[in-house]
Amino acid sequence: MPIITVSERLLQPATHHRIPRTQATWIQIQDPDNPDQPPNHYEVGFDFQHQFPNHMPMPGGNGQASFVFACWSNEYAGDTYTTSFVDVVVPDSRPMKVIAYYAPPGGLGPNGGPGWFVDSFSAEKNEFTQDNPFVTVEGNPQATSDANIIGEVSTAGQSLRLDAVASISTGEVFAQWVGNAATTSELEVLAADSNGVAIATYHATTSVTPPNLNVHAEEGVKILWGLIAGGDGVVWTPHGPKHVDPGWGTFAERVLRAGAVANLGQSMENAPEITRLCVNEVHAAVKELDGGVAKVGDLEKTH
C-alpha cells in the first residue's frame, strides 16, 4: 500500500532563488495548531482528503504566512490546487507527497518593494525547476531576465504581462498559473505596484478547457460526435443537425505522430529535447482543436 506524507513549505522571496540558487526557494514549516500527520498507508483508489490552514504563523512570530497553492505528487504524476482543500484519489502504489506552499507577508519584489515572486513548478516532482527561460515578460527584457534568473520582478510604477513557455525539461506541459491571480491561460497580468506570487505549474497531462461557443444557453450547440478518422462530426443546433469537422482527424494525426516520435527518441542522446518538441506539438494541436470546436458556435448564426 502507498505511503502518503503531508507537509507545509514557506517560500523565500527577495533572494536569488533561481539560477543559481543562492538560497533555498522554500523552508519547511509546521502549523503548531494542526501538526502534520505522520506517514500513513492508504489503499490504492482511496479518496484522500486534507484541509490545510489558510494562514500559518511565521517562524519567529513575525506575522502570518498565507496559503498560495498545494500539490500532490508521486514522482510519476501530480496535480496542483489553488484552494487549501486537497481531494485526490490515490492513483497507484507509489509513495505520495501532499505539500502546501505559503508566502510571507509584505513586499515580494526587489529589496522588499512592490513586486512578485515568480518561478516554474513541476507537479510531477512537487518541486520548483530551474528551466530557463520559463517565462517572457512582454516588451520588457530586463523584467524577463529578472524573472528567469533571479525569480522576482518589480511592479513599481509598471504593469507586467507574463507569458509562460508551453513545456519544461521534465516533459510536462503548462497547466496553470497559481498564486494571487490563478489562471489557466499562459498569460498572467500583474498590476502596477502590486505584490504577489505567480508560479507557472506544469503537469504530465493537461486538461482541455471547453471553449466558449459565444451562444446563449438556450441556443447552445451540442457536439454529438466526431469521426476521428477525419470525417465530419455532427452538431445539433436549434435548427436541426448540421455536419461539421472541427479538426478531429488532423488533431488525431498530429498527436499520434508526436507520440511516435517521442517514443522513438527515448533512446537518443537528445531525448529530453525531443520530448519537449513533441509536447509542444501536442500543445499546439490541442489549441488548434479548441479553435475548430469554437467555430461550431457560428453555425447557429448561419443556419
Q: What is the pLDDT of residues 245-285, one digit of tens each?
A: 556 667 677 777 877 777 777 666 666 567 666 776 776 77
Q: What is the pTM of this model?
A: 0.64
Read off the pLDDT band of 293 (50, 70, 90).
low
pLDDT above 90 for 82:
no
pLDDT number for residue 230: 42
pLDDT number for residue 101: 93
Residue 211 lies in a domain: no
Is residue 32 domain-shared with residue 113, that is, in the same domain?
yes
Is residue 199 domain-shared with residue 224, that is, in the same domain?
no
Residue 233 parent element (H or E): strand 233-237
Single residue among 203, 229, 248 that ends a domain in this structure: 203
Q: What is the pLDDT of residues 166-194, one digit of tens each?
A: 888 888 888 888 887 667 777 788 888 88
How many structural domains is the chain composed of?
Answer: 2
Is residue 231 domain-shared with residue 187, that is, in the same domain?
no
Is residue 23 domain-shared with residue 118, that is, in the same domain?
yes
Residue 58 lies in a domain: yes
Alpha-helical (H) ranges within 10-82 are none
| Residue 79, all three cell numbers | 496535480
Residue 210 lies in a domain: no
Is residue 146 domain-shared with residue 257, that is, in the same domain?
no
Residue 209 lies in a domain: no
Is residue 198 domain-shared with residue 222, that is, in the same domain?
no
CB atoms within 10 A of CB 80: 24
Is residue 136 domain-shared with residue 271, that is, in the same domain?
no
The CA distance from 52 to 65, in Å, is 12
The CA distance from 83 to 94, in Å, is 24
Query: What mean pLDDT is reported for the chain?
Result: 74
pLDDT above 90 for 70:
yes
The DSSP symbol for 14 reads: S
The CA distance from 255 to 248, in Å, is 11
Residues pairing with 241 in the sheet: 236
Is residue 194 domain-shared with residue 226, that is, in the same domain?
no
225 or 79, which is more confident: 79
pLDDT above 80 for 37:
no
Single residue among 176, 203, 230 that ends a domain in this structure: 203
Residue 254 lies in a domain: yes
Residue 237 sits in which domain range?
217-302
Single residue among 180, 203, 226 that ends a domain in this structure: 203
Read off the pLDDT band of 211 (50, 70, 90).
very low
Read off the pLDDT band of 69 (50, 70, 90).
very high
The CA distance from 24 to 108, in Å, is 16
Is residue 18 domain-shared with residue 48, that is, in the same domain?
yes
Q: What is the pLDDT of residues 107-154, one digit of tens each?
A: 566 666 788 888 999 998 899 988 888 888 888 898 888 888 888 888
pLDDT number for residue 209: 36
Residue 208 lies in a domain: no
pLDDT number for residue 158: 86
Is residue 157 domain-shared with residue 224, that is, in the same domain?
no
Is residue 18 domain-shared with residue 144, that is, in the same domain?
yes
Is residue 106 domain-shared with residue 241, that is, in the same domain?
no
Residue 120 lies in a domain: yes
The CA distance from 139 to 133, in Å, is 15
- Indicate if the alpha-carbon torsion angle 94, 92, 69, 66 is positive or negative: negative
Residue 168 lies in a domain: yes
